[in-house]
A = this chain, B = another copy of it.
């Protein structure tokens, strides 16, 4: 299986390359960068054996024989002309940005504005790689890989919604390492600013990932993200008021839902982001406020692996009929 990684020099792109280098059935034949084409990959990543040694620019990549799977780590709305070419050539595209995460533009546009390629929506689909009911449609060619926060959210909430229907209201406190904000240099992401710092960003409900979360819970989500003084890792704490669920029931439903899934660790112990760092695993836990009806769900993932590159590979595995854990353990 010949695969390409486009947007190879950002954090998600590099994480894709590092994991794909170990994949027994996928071979990275092109690491593509719009701005770094021609440079040695070694300037970004220690040389790793089956990876190509040089980054390709778009022109060179356009002249290559089509690949089986293109992983795109470009920004939302970037590179649509390339997407069209790959789709035409029969490649499958796994897009790590947001344009193909929604089949309903009325959900997309309030957060992202006009859609950059509505013509591609009919071959697009989305979902969560750990959802046992996830379907990869026969005509599908573009898979919208979920965002990092919604992935953690869906891991915790989707099984509950499947079991008992919509959850009317959830207050979500999100905490992420700074790689979640990308690799483009900004003052606020310098270690000189972030060491010994923690801060909320975006207004509640304004973060773009809110749409994906409400899609999952089928209710109102008030989401407040925060930056933490660390590079990798993401932790969600979800407060569900007036919940009919007991903590034990949640653990049971999760265990049934993720039965046989090696990536989801379920425990009454509260999750620690470092334990899932550099893995495709999620750590789920929950607790209830014994004095009232509040249920609290916790989910820790690595924002770059399960929250981006790892899930993308897991999706590609399932889409291609391979075992979903291939190359990810």
Contact = CB atoms under 8 A, between A and B. Distances in A.
Contacts of A191: 177-178, 189-191, 193-195, 229-231
Contact of A273 (B175, B183, B197, B292): B197
A262 interface: yes
B230 A226 contact: no
A19 interface: no
A228 B195 contact: no
A255 to B, nearest CB: 13
Given A171-B239, A187-B183, A201-B270, A265 B47 contact: yes
Contacts of A171: 171, 239, 241, 294
A27 to B, nearest CB: 15
Interface of A: 11, 22, 42, 46-47, 49, 169, 171, 173, 175, 177-179, 183, 185-187, 189-201, 203-206, 220, 222, 224, 226, 228-233, 235, 237, 239, 241, 262, 265, 267, 270-279, 281, 283, 287-292, 294, 296, 298, 300, 329
- Which 8 residue pairs of A and B lie closest in terms of their CB atoms, listed nearest first? A185-B185, A195-B231, A173-B173, A205-B289, A197-B274, A179-B192, A171-B239, A191-B194
Given A46-B276, A204-B239, A222-B289, 14 more contacts: A169-B241, A173-B237, A177-B195, A192-B232, A197-B273, A198-B272, A199-B273, A200-B235, A200-B270, A204-B296, A206-B290, A228-B229, A239-B239, A241-B241
